[in-house]
Structure 1
């Protein structure tokens, strides 16, 4: 394509005609010709959609499993108090995130004091 454009006007015309012919050919190949092909294409689309839905549902389940407790009934499931659940959540965050939240909080407070915030 680049070479054809460098050749000049004839190269540009050839490239344009080539692209148009290619797009037309691709469009013709993609269009179903019979009712059976239309039905097969529809079924194929439905199968692909079902696969995508399954992947999304599995990913959603994995996320729920990763998060752990359901926040709406976490006290019932765990038998822990509200503060114990938060404490456990912070510990998990520190472990997975490889950070020290208390140090980060202390640093933030110190920086705010240096800037005159109370």
Structure 2
């Protein structure tokens, strides 16, 4: 029988059913042996997947049955347990097949212009052109997605850049709260702290564009700073209260009740 070596995601493997045929052993018996090898490897805190990879197949009746994919190391381990002619033949076969596949992989990864054989060079060139076309298609698709999203992002930015400012009293009213209660809530959530008679944002939020402060002149000797929330800040508060406290504006609460 001819041993088949397959490439799965860059890993060279052979099927335990083929190995069983090669060494003239029942597949179920080989599986029990491999199960034992896996237990020993795991107990020794070694990666069993470097030797044996669990898999399955469908038999002629449609049943799903277990099997293993063996790496070259796994074949080494099985071969070491064999004696006589069977062990020699199996070792020679798997070493040869793995070397052939390794060579094929090496050629596939070589640039076409470095391959001497004209047929292999042509085959590699075709693969390179297909890869280039696929990459070009992926880039075009990404560009289209970006272009489709761009109008939405721009519109959103325009909303956030709205110049109208809101006092905390106005935002608090949306939630059915007084400004005093609302300020305390934002303080509890770690958004702001009180300095004198003025509420200021903690440093992590101070440079986000959530607020804008204005100084109002009381008389020739006195002035007072007031903090106003931007539309961006208003959205920040909305998301914060919704995610952290489950608090919604009155309008949304009413919509939920109607729904």
Q: Same fold (TM over 0.5)?
A: no
Structure 1 or 2, whichever has the larger Rg, is: 2
Q: Which has the higher helix share?
A: 1
Q: TM-score, normalised by structure 1?
A: 0.39
Bigger relative contact order (CA 8 A; separation at least 6)? 2
